[in-house]
Homo-oligomer: A and B are copies of this chain.
């Protein structure tokens, strides 16, 4: 019973080979931001016989279970990352594609206030900054 197995159990998900492998890939990947296709390729490269449909299904379940977060940058494929419980937003370099995480308590607070001012309650948000290196 590995750590991954326990996480899956805790999330109420049956411990299956595809799910364990996908969880491992997400935990071990270097930049922590992978597309479904990236994961599919990683599986393919190692050994697996996991279909792309399963990758999507498993990622959706992981998201529902709070194990991973899904983000949509502009157009293009969604990216997935392990949810470590530390909320953050993203900055994407338009030249290199690099993704940088950041968190700003002030912005978070302002968002709440803005929603409240219109008679709403904030249930979520998506903030992506598109940036380029300063010296170009």
CB of A119 within 8 A of chain B? yes
Residues of B within 8 A of A126 (CB): 74, 126-128, 130
What separation, in Å, do the CA atoms of A110 and B111 have in the docked complex?
12
Residues of B within 8 A of A119 (CB): 133-134
A115 in contact with B133 (CB, 8 Å): no
Q: A111-123, CB under 8 A of B: which get 1 and which 0?
A: 1001110111111
A residues 1-57 near B (Cβ < 8 Å) are none
A residues 87-136 near B (Cβ < 8 Å) are 91, 93-94, 100, 102, 104, 106-107, 110-111, 114-116, 118-134, 136
A134 in contact with B114 (CB, 8 Å): no
Task: Name the one of B75, B91, B130 contacting A72, with C-beta atoms under 8 angstroms.
Answer: B75
What separation, in Å, do the CA atoms of A102 and B136 have in the docked complex?
31
Residues of B within 8 A of A106 (CB): 106, 110
Residues of B within 8 A of A107 (CB): 107, 110-111
23 A-B pairs with CB atoms under 8 Å apart are A72-B75, A74-B126, A75-B78, A91-B114, A91-B115, A91-B120, A94-B123, A94-B124, A102-B118, A104-B114, A115-B129, A119-B134, A120-B131, A120-B132, A121-B131, A122-B129, A122-B130, A123-B131, A124-B129, A124-B130, A126-B126, A126-B128, A126-B130
